[in-house]
Structure 1
């Protein structure tokens, strides 16, 4: 029994020596090696987030009108879109036609005049006579400056009924349709009264050559 116990004790001591040798990794009994630090797994570089797809646009709603053909992008497909042309006011005065309120238009070469409301003709054309070549009627866009029912011209010693002044010294007024003026726009008595009653201070007046 004693022999057996001694054999068992020797075997146990030998096994312990083998275990200690395996844990140290250096062959020194009794020294237990610290476990090696685990290498952090390599991380793949983060990829940039994918750009969102471009939004679908519809440019047809913002296309300009006036009869122009524009391109509309609808669900990735480009299609020509025709916009309706702006309604013709029937007068040669675009500034007067664009006015949202009351306005007047005078065409010197055609000897015609109109009244408009919101771009639509409400009166005319009526005959008119502009100034002489030596006293030309000014052309361009103006505004009504003042109105005088029975104006008297001290310069030319002549009456100017229903005067609607749109330029200093020049006005729509009742006058001869056979004799040119000194810069004013002559209208018939009835037409001058309509111009006087319809136009207001600040209204647009456009005179074209």
Structure 2
């Protein structure tokens, strides 16, 4: 008894759709790499010992899980340990994020504490849509996208950062690769 093997190839429409998706993703990557914010980031000098530029007031390195505060392109605090987002709730990367709200005793509208109450986010300094903020919390476990700091550091970040201040969240490895070609 012989066995016939049938090989199925994707329909031409499926191949065209896949080609369009790949082209769009490649184009988006090129557009992001050439964005004005990315270009401005590349043109500014880095604050020595950090992966962020002199235009930032706060810096987060996702690779080392550290953060710094800057004033006039100089480190005024840090590096301090932080917890950033998990792979499924990543902390947004950006070169020109801005502080847009601050709440000393904020409670989460999305997450609850073990007692069923909204989760506390003391010393919250919001810098990205979706409620992403620096705030007090554990630094030994991933967050849901926020940048958690020990209490004293969260309070220092809250008092140092003002509405409109630039926050940079980057990968030091990516910054080094981009700048060293």
Q: Deviations over 1:111-156 (max 9, x none)?
A: 1000000100000000001011000000012010110001101210
Of structures 1 and 2, the one with the larger relative CO (CA 8 A, separation 6+) is: 2
Q: Distance in 1 between matches of 2:140 and 2:61?
A: 17
Q: Partners in 2 of 1:149 and 1:104 — Cα distance?
A: 18
2:46–2:52 contact (8 Å) kept in structure 1: no
TM-score normalised by L of structure 2: 0.63
Q: Which residue of 2 aligns with 1:146?
A: 101
Local SS of the residue matching 1:122: strand
User: Do the aligned partners of residues 88 and 116 (structure 1) sit closer, same or farther apart at CA in structure 2, a change above 3 Å counting?
Assistant: closer
| 2:88 corresponds to 1:134 | yes
Question: What is the CA RMSD across the aligned residues, in angstroms?
Answer: 1.4
Whose helix fraction is larger, Structure 1's or Structure 2's?
A: 2
CA shift, 1:89, in A, is: 2.6
Residue 158 of structure 2 is matched in structure 1 by: 196
Structure 1 residue runs of 4 or more that deviate by more than 6 Å after TM superposition:
none
Q: What TM-score results when the alignment is normalised by the length of structure 1? A: 0.55
Structure 2 alignment gaps of length 5 or more:
1-44, 113-118, 172-181
Q: Considering only CA atoms, is the larger Rg found in Structure 1 or Structure 2?
A: 1
Secondary structure in 1 matching 2:111: coil
Aligned to 1:161: 122
Aligned residues: 119
Displacement after TM superposition at 1:88 (Å): 5.0
